[in-house]
Amino acid sequence: MQLQTSVGLDRNETVAAIGTARPGQHDVSVDEVGDIKLDYNNVLMVPGTDTCVASRKDVEMRTCLSFNRGHGIKYTGVPIMAANMDGVGSLAMAKSLMTHGIFTCLAKTHSSDDLLTFFREDPRRKDFCAITVGLRGADRDTFRAVMNAVGDLKYVCLDVANGHTNRFVRFVETFRNEFPDLVIIAGNVVTPEQVLLLVSAGADLVKVGIGSGSVCETRIKTGVGFPQFSAVIECSQAAYSAGARIVADGGCTGPGDVAKALAAGAAFVMLGGMLAGHKEGGGEIITRKFATSELDANGRAVIAEQRYVEFYGMSSQAANEKHFDGLGLWRTSEGREVLLPYRPSLDDTVRDIFGGLRSACTYLGAPDIASLPSCTRFVRCNDTHNRLFEDYPALER
Ligand code: 5GP
């Protein structure tokens, strides 16, 4: 497929990639030609021909991962990570998700005291949780304090919105030198070149995804990003070649997208929006009343209640006001703020995700999640599903 661009090109000229402008040039020069890049909703997975997996319940959901650097550390669990976001990366979410074998990257905002208590209460949490550290010195101090007190944390998540900077690469390097035995999760980036830089700086798992998140506005505010499915394929190949793996972060809208990300080569899939909306996330639960079109015995509109949970991007105005001194003069909000319908059961949400993954594996003939890449053939498509009744109210249970 080809893309058409009118920037600095003859109107009839077609190119297969976006051009690259260099300083001092008037025209945009097209010096990289490649295929159009894809998102999860541009592809489907084709059922296998020899599907030997008899039942969904036979599918092994856990994977066993070892890491080049984290000495002897092995991850045995479901290859899903809860995102280090408010409303998702809370201590209560981590406790609950761990019972399902799901990993959590804790939000950056937990105090060292809370983290200490959390890891001391149950040492097994070290196998399923990472403290998240940003570029701020305070984050590093928190991590050091907990590490020194607890002694044997296994994972850390080094997280910045833009991992395409030398500063971040050096940051990963410094962290690796200080903590040679940790499994380092680092991101976010979207190009194979930057994946390789982060891996050689010391990352074991590179977090891939810029602009694809459910409450992200970076693409709208900046025009920067990379379609997530292609980023996952290209970056996971690069990471693999360097003895590392990737975490596909952001953009999953349902269990099918999680399956696609894993089949495309991601070692983990990180979820924000798909795990948001539960009380365990810690966000405020808000009750709204509204008049329905039904009438009561007195002819008055029946009032219904709906509960919501606030959810926002970590670069939103809300997050900046909550955790920092607001947006300041140089920033604009790059995150959405939404009210999600309250979801009463995290267990049900997890069951829905697992059910979809199990079913994907049986269609594709994968006996376990780890076999998904070798069992999957993708096809490109214009649309993935039928939307006829999408806007109709759901049946109440
Ligand atoms: P989701 O699973 O909700 O689609 O995506 C979650 C990911 O979105 C997070 O792990 C993080 O990488 C990204 N993200 C979270 N908040 C923001 C934000 O405010 N702006 C941007 N650009 N990305 C965000």
Architecture of domain 4-279+346-380: Alpha-Beta Barrel (3.20)
Q: Of 136 and 13, which is predicted with more confidence? A: 136
Over 90: is that where the pLDDT of 5 sits?
no
> Is the minimum distance from the CB of 188 to ligand 1 under 6 angstroms?
yes
CA pair distance 225, 219, nearest whole angstrom: 6
> Is the minimum distance from the CB of 160 to ligand 1 under 6 angstroms?
no
H or E element at residue 294: strand 285-295
In the chain, what are the domain boundaries?
4-279+346-380, 281-341
- Write down the residue that tokens 């509204």 correspond to: 290
Provide the pairing of β-strand 245-249 with 205-208: parallel
User: C-alpha 238: how far from its chain's center?
Assistant: 19
In this structure, the chain runs to a length of 397
Q: How does DSSP classify residue 20? A: B
Would you state the pLDDT for residue 111? 96
Would you state the pLDDT for residue 308? 96
Q: Which of 52-56, 219-223, 297-301 has the lowest mean pLDDT?
A: 52-56
Residue 61 DSSP SS3: coil
> Is the minimum distance from the CB of 63 to ligand 1 under 6 angstroms?
no
- The residue type found at 281 is G
Would you state the pLDDT for residue 50? 66
pTM for the model stands at 0.91
Active site residues: 216
Quick one: which of 155, 304, 227, 328 has its CA closest to 1?
Answer: 227
Atom of ligand 1 nearest to the CA of 207: 12
Q: How does DSSP classify residue 135? A: S
Half-sphere exposure of 64 (CA within 13 A, CB side): 2
Name the closest-CA residue to atom 23, ligand 1.
216
Span 321-357, pLDDT tens digits: 888 888 888 888 999 999 999 999 999 999 999 999 9
The 3-state secondary structure of 330-348 reads CCCCCECEEEEECCCCHHH
Name the closest-CA residue to atom 20, ligand 1.
216
